[in-house]
Every structure is written in C-alpha cells, then in structure tokens.
C-alpha cells in the first residue's frame, strides 16, 4: 500500500491523486506525493501544498454543459449522526462565513450552495468540514474531536474534487467556485488559529499556503467570468467586484505608504506589489469605518486573494517592509477580533512581527501598535 504523506502543520493526508492531484495540476506545481513517493514525512510542508495548491491557474474553461456524473461518486462512508449534527449546524448558523461578501444576504448564497452540493459531493463534504471547523472553535471542550472531523471531511472533499473533470464549464463553474471559497475560508481560519512554537515562521508558512490557494479563487473568477456572469452568483460577484474596485479614502495607511515609497531596498516592481496590497488594506479600514455592517470585515479574507505573488514572496523572505505592512493587516484583524475565526490573532501576529523585526525598524510599528493597544472597534 502506498505511504501516506502527512503534514505536521495540519495533519492532513495527501489524497495521492494520479498522476498528480488536480489542485497541483491546476496551479502548475509539482505534486509532492509524486515527488516523494516511498517516503513518509511528518514535517514536510510541501505535502500540504500538494493537497491545497492554488485553484485556477491551469484550469481550462469551456462553454460546454455536459452534466457531470456526480451521483456516481461514492461518499466513501455511510452518513451518520455526527454528519447530521454538522449539517444541522451548517444550516442553522449564520456566522460561519462572517468574513464573506454581503453577509446580510447570506441566505440566498447559502441556498445556492446547498443546491449545488447535491450535484457536487466534494462541495458538500467541504461545507460539512467547515461546519466542523466552526464547532471546534466554539466548543473548546470538544476541539480535538471536531478538528478530526474537519480534517477527515476536508481530505475527502479534495479527493472527490480531484476525481472531477478538469474543465470548468457552465455545469460546474458555480460548484467549483463555491468549493474554492469554502476551502479558502477554512484554510484562513486554520492559519489565523495557528499558535505553534515556531512563531512568525510557522504563522507565515500557514498564511502563505492559504494565500496561494485563495489567489486561485480569483483566477477561477477571472477565467470563468463569462460563465459565472450568467449564473445565480452574478449579483454577489458583481457586488464584490465593485467593492474591490473602490478608491481608498482613509488615512490609516499613510505611514506605510511613506515607508514603501521611500524604500531604498525594494525594486520598483516590489514597491508596486506593496502598493497594491496597501490599497486593498485601506479599503479594509474604510469598510470597518463604514455603516455597511454586512461587509465590514470582508477584506480580511479578500486580502488573501488580491495581494500579488510578489508581495507574498517578500513576506516569505521576511523583508522588513513587508513585515511592517503585515502589521497593518494585524491591526485589521484586531478590529475583527469578535469574529470566531480571528479572536486574539491580531495581537499575536503583532507580537510575532515585533519580536522578529530588527529594532531599527520598530519606529514604523508605532502607529499600528498604538491603535491596537487602544482596543478600538
């Protein structure tokens, strides 16, 4: 029997899709299972990448509408009362997607999600996995139990997804997008909950992995837009597109704009990548200050989709300017600390950054740290 690759970071099994898992194929990455067959590593970070690589990079889009034979896909296990508990929680809890678009209109999108999940079992499994992830967060006494359920269902969801057609068409574009978004919200919740002993390194490893997948969601939307624009998701997607295209208004990011503009160590391309990230962060602060409660926290999730790969590279390299920029994201997180996915993550992340940033750069943390310490909503 083939060895199972397990990520120590998330204890998630590689689904061993052949010749490579679909998520890896779509992002243009080498599948770690095919690269490491015959080994079993509990610490290799690439095993998680093989399961949750970006979606959408190499996905082919077609206008054909051949219905997938989704009912022929086995659920693998008989549905039991634990699954029913997750399903009931899923349909009766409004704040699962509290970082989503237009949260006040959650019900209509959720109904589409349920309808599509009947045709796409991978979507239903991921929805149940996210329900388990939420229960793990709100029931500390049963966290381990629910996390185990979340991992098992999520692994099965990705395995089922890998068995589907590689072409995005009018019959599956909605299900694939909803699956990608739900998986993205799940991975962000995991990343924000990370409290491992390796501090900033561990957090960045989790966070960058989440960003890689969530950027793929944007790629799916762009490549399949003609199909999605003719779907039931068009209203919420158009609304989200309009919100993200707004001009920043506030002044919270002026200090970091000054730092990036005057930087001597960043290239022009790196500065542009940082400026794009800053613009979206400012939109996040603008939303926090607005009266539109249904979308106040959307940029906490959206930022993981919209920040450029060049900025992610700077983060991975722990460039001081990128870490200081990340401290503003920590402030944005702190504003959303009442949400189940976030809680005290803003404070923790700010502490990680402060501990790892050379002291000569600490001056640039004064503004976000001072605002964070005031505990303003």
User: Which residue carries 């799940």 as its tokens?
Assistant: 186
C-alpha 121 chain-centroid distance: 21
H-helix or E-strand spanning residue 168: strand 167-168
Q: How far apart are CA 63 and CA 233, in angstroms?
A: 17
* 92/212 same-domain check: yes
Cis peptide before 274 (omega within 30 of 0): no
Looking at the domain assignment, is residue 47 inside a domain? no
Q: Is 271 exposed, middle or buried (0-12, 13-18, 19+ CB in 10 A)?
A: middle
**Which of 62-76, 130-144, 206-220, 298-312 shows the lowest per-residue confidence on average (mean pLDDT)?**
62-76
pLDDT of 150? 98
Residue 14 lies in a domain: no
- The two tokens of residue 63 are 């206008």
Q: For the chain, what is the domain count?
A: 2
- Provide the 8-state DSSP code for 69: -
Question: What is the pTM for the complete model shown?
Answer: 0.82
pLDDT at 98: 83
49 is a domain residue:
no
User: For residue 208, is pLDDT > 70?
Assistant: yes
Containing 60, the helix (H) or strand (E) segment is strand 60-61
Do 208 and 184 fall into the same domain? yes
For residue 2, pLDDT over 50 is answered with no
Residues 274, 141 share a domain? no
Residue 307 lies in a domain: yes
Q: Which residue has the higher pLDDT, 374 or 156?
A: 156
| DSSP H/E element including 167 | strand 167-168
Give the separation between CA 354 and CA 338, rounded to whole angstroms.
Answer: 23
Structural domain containing residue 304? 246-374
Residues 179 and 304 in one domain: no
Is 51 within a domain? no
Instruction: Give the pLDDT of residue 145.
Output: 98
> Do 76 and 220 sit in the same domain of this protein?
yes
Give me the DSSP letters along 337-376: TTSTTTTTHHHHHHHHHHHHS-GGGGGGGHHHHHHHHHT-
321 is a domain residue:
yes
Q: Would 17 be classed as within a structural domain? A: no
Q: Indicate the pLDDT class of residue 14, thresholds 50, 70 and 90.
A: very low
The whole-chain average pLDDT of the chain stands at 82
Q: Indicate whether 292 and 173 sit together in one domain.
A: no
- Three-class secondary structure of residue 6 per DSSP: strand
pLDDT tens, position by position, 22-42: 455 444 455 544 434 333 333
Q: What are the pLDDT digits (tens) for 269-314?
A: 999 999 999 999 999 999 999 866 667 899 999 999 999 999 999 9
Contact 38, 24 (CB under 8 A): no
Same domain, 301 and 211: no
Instruction: Verify that 281 and 217 share a domain, yes or no.
Output: no
- Percent of the chain residues past pLDDT 90, beyond the cut: 63
Q: What is the DSSP letter of 247?
A: P
């Amino acid at each position: 029997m083939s060895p199972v690759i397990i990520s120590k970071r998330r204890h998630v099994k590689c689904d061993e899709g052949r010749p490579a898992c679909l998520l890896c194929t779509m992002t243009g990455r080498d599948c770690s299972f095919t690269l490491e067959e015959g080994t079993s590593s509990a610490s290799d970070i690439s095993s998680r990448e093989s399961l949750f690589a970006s979606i959408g990079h190499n996905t082919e889009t077609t206008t054909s509408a051949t219905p997938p034979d989704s009912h022929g896909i086995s659920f693998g296990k008989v549905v039991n009362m634990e699954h029913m508990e997750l399903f009931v929680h899923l349909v009766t809890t409004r704040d699962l997607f509290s970082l989503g678009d237009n949260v006040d209109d959650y019900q209509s999108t959720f109904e589409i999600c349920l309808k599509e999940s009947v045709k796409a079992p991978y979507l239903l499994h991921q929805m149940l996995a996210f329900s388990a992830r939420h229960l793990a967060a709100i029931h500390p006494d049963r966290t381990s139990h629910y996390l185990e359920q979340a991992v098992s269902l999520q692994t099965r969801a990705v395995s089922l997804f890998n068995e589907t057609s590689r072409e995005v068409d009018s019959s599956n574009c909605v299900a694939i997008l909803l699956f990608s978004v739900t998986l993205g919200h799940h991975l962000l919740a995991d990343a924000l909950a990370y409290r491992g002993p390796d501090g900033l390194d561990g957090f960045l490893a989790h966070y960058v992995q989440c960003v890689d997948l969530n950027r793929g969601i944007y790629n799916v939307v762009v490549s399949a837009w003609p199909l999605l624009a003719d779907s039931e998701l068009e209203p919420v997607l158009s609304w989200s597109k309009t919100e993200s295209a707004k001009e920043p208004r506030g002044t919270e990011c002026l200090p970091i704009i000054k730092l990036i503009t005057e930087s001597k160590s960043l290239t022009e391309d790196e500065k542009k990548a940082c400026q794009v990230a800053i613009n979206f962060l400012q939109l996040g602060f603008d939303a926090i200050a607005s009266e539109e409660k249904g979308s106040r926290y959307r940029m906490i999730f959206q930022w993981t989709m919209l920040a450029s790969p060049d900025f992610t590279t700077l983060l991975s390299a722990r460039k001081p300017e990128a870490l200081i920029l990340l401290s503003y994201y920590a402030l944005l997180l702190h504003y959303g600390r009442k949400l189940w996915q976030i809680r005290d993550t803003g404070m923790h992340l700010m502490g990680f950054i402060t501990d790892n940033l050379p002291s000569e750069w600490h001056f640039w943390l004064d503004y976000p740290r001072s605002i964070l310490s005031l505990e303003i909503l």
